[in-house]
Amino acid sequence: MTYSITEEQALSCCASKAFAAKLAAASPFADFGTLVDTARRIWWSEVGTTEWLDAFAAHPKIGDHEAVEQKPAAFAAFSKSEQAAAAESTTSAVAEELRELNKRYYDKFGFIFIIFAKGKSAPEILSYLRERYNRLPYEELQTAAREQMKITELRLGNLFGLSAEVELMQRTQRRADQVLSQLTASHAAGPLRSPITTHVLDSALGVPAMGLPLALLKYDETSKVWEKVSEGVTNEDGRVGNLLAPSNYLAPGRYRMYFDTATYLHACKKQHPNFYAEVPFYPEVNIEFVITPDKSTEHYHIPLLLSPYGYSTYRGS
């Protein structure tokens, strides 16, 4: 069986005209997996940010039922189905907070809040919206693009009556890393801990850097974007030891440690006004490193030595 898709059908799945035209032009497809792989390649490699924003703008805001009715019939049908769980679980208080936070989100990022809403309750969606509102713009754009691709895949599956297959495909990668961790855990030589840890030292004051926000990100080779894996704030010892679940296995790939040094240096300025600059010279620090398959069972300690006008790092133990 081959799978053919028209430009109009593609637009009902993703409202980027360039995306829809390219996907329709590549039709027919030998199987559904090839269709999805092609859609992913086009979305991540052949259309740009402008087309992403066009796709975002076509969606009704979560909870805006009047806007759903104004969309083209096929697009509206998909939206109603995807937001059904949210519509059934909302309350007046949740709906009001969604409206207010949706507006603040748009004012901050310049595009509406995009989330794979299928099966999510209104309170659950509101929780995601609160968390994502606090992100940096470049992080949130990547997350929104990822959510849009998940929506597109679901809708492509629905076109051909294959929604179950799509959900299975989307779970496969997440489960792979979990299974590998479980398989290797029994071989640990000692107590398990997070495969990646960090420690920030203020080399100017000679003390641990307490209260410094940071995040761990991993590069997705398929989407070509950085995805946030976890985040934390350094404790009184300048450490964050729970970035990942305890394990002696770490999925190979390219990682980034992001340090929000501006927050910490601003706090230092209040305590030492004559020593620290009003505007931090290094507002953030990003440290990238690569884990190869042959090193995936080792521990990685990524420390940061920070001063107002310099920083350094190394691989520790």
pLDDT in tens for each of the 317 residues of the chain?
789 999 999 999 998 999 999 999 999 999 888 999 999 999 988 888 889 999 998 887 766 566 556 566 666 676 667 776 777 777 889 888 988 999 999 999 999 899 988 888 888 888 989 989 988 787 788 889 889 999 999 889 888 887 655 555 555 555 555 555 554 444 444 556 788 999 999 998 899 999 999 999 999 887 788 888 888 899 999 998 888 877 777 888 999 999 999 999 999 998 888 888 889 999 999 999 999 988 888 889 999 999 999 999 999 87
Strands (E), 91-220: 196-202, 207-208, 213-220
Residue at token pair 């999925």: 251
Nearest Cα neighbor of 166 from 10, 52, 36 is 36
Pick the catalytic residue: 59, 65, 299, 301?
A: 59
Residue 165: predicted pLDDT: 54
How far apart (Å, rounded) are the C-alpha atoms in residues 167 and 156?
A: 11
Cβ atoms 98, 126 nearer than 8 A = yes
CA 142 to chain centre: 6
Cβ atoms 212, 239 nearer than 8 A = no
How far apart (Å, rounded) are the C-alpha atoms in residues 20 and 219?
A: 26
User: Would you state the structure tokens that stand for residue 199, as one six-digit string?
Assistant: 């420690």
Residue 179: predicted pLDDT: 52
Beta bridge partners of 214: 232, 259
Nearest Cα neighbor of 228 from 111, 143, 296 is 143
Q: Is 59 among the residues known to form the active site?
A: yes
